[in-house]
Structure 1
Amino acid sequence: MNTPNANEDTRRDDLPDALRWQLRAMRRDEPPARDLWPDIAQRLQQSPQQAARPQRPRWLAPVAMAATMVMAVGMVGVWRAGTDHPANPGTPVATDARQATLVQLEAQGMTRQYQAAMIEVGPGRPPVELQPAFDELDRNATLILDALAQNPDSRLLLEQLRRTYARRLALAQRVAYA
């Protein structure tokens, strides 16, 4: 019985034997006639290549700092959530920590983080053409907070609130750092 070796092709029926032997005869490993490295090194020295430094967007650092600040303030807000009242008295989430659900507590902490981040960004007045976007984001945040008061366990509403605050903060940062 003839068993194929590990190095041999197992598809012997694809090529006739004569052709396979001719192909093997064509293979020749030959080293280069001379050392190629000195020529390569000389060409590299003649035209040194500088690696292109990747360009980062200019707004990335301020956004990262604001996000870090929001996270730090949020951690303090979550830590103190049982003793503090909401930062905005008009916020329609539950004020008694014993009655508030976890989602409401997170919404309260998120609202405090957002307000602290907005203080950090500054009270800059947005351009007239961007004012409708700011107003719409503020209106959406208010509607989401109202909906959270009606459905206090909705993780979907909490995520919507987070995205709305993030968009509003990013827009305010672009205006402040422009």
Structure 2
Amino acid sequence: MTTPTTEASPTPPTDERRSWLRDHSELGVCVLLLALGALVLGDALTMDVEITQRGPVGPKTVPIVVGIGLLVIAALLAVDVLRGGRGEAEGGEDVDLSEPADWRTVLLLAGVFLGAAVLIEPAGFPVAGALLFWGAAFALGSRRFDRDPLIAAVLSLFTYVIFNNLLGVPLPGGPLMGVL
């Protein structure tokens, strides 16, 4: 009497496709670089320049070079990945990938950033920047309430003075508009 043998069913093609995509995940970076290069190159080639060009290098030169460079790097990386090349994990990174993401910190940072973006116009950069610096320090774990707000205020004022007064990049001053 013969007993029917059970053969292992072949793996479905979707599992093979997922495995191939997992092994070649760096191709996602290639697609991103390709899209970015095409965007930069397209913008550079359609740029309407009304300034008279003096010399061989005009305002379109650098974006065109950057766009072509991104396309070349995307192609070279894709060839390397398809030939079996893999990126090495950073040896100095101290991240435990088995741990879940710290969404509390991410949401706190996002809230602080959005709050600073909302406050920058009515309150000015020095106030919004100080809240941004202090909020980021708090979200990332610093609990030095005696030191952190003072450091945030000094950093924000220093940044404002450097950009606004020395570099000529106007930032909203808010209540400090005429003082600094």
Name the TM tier (shorter chain): under 0.3
The normalised TM-score by structure 2 is: 0.27
- Larger radius of gyration between Structure 1 and Structure 2: 1
Highest RCO, 1 vs 2 (Cα 8 Å, sep ≥ 6): 1
The normalised TM-score by structure 1 is: 0.28
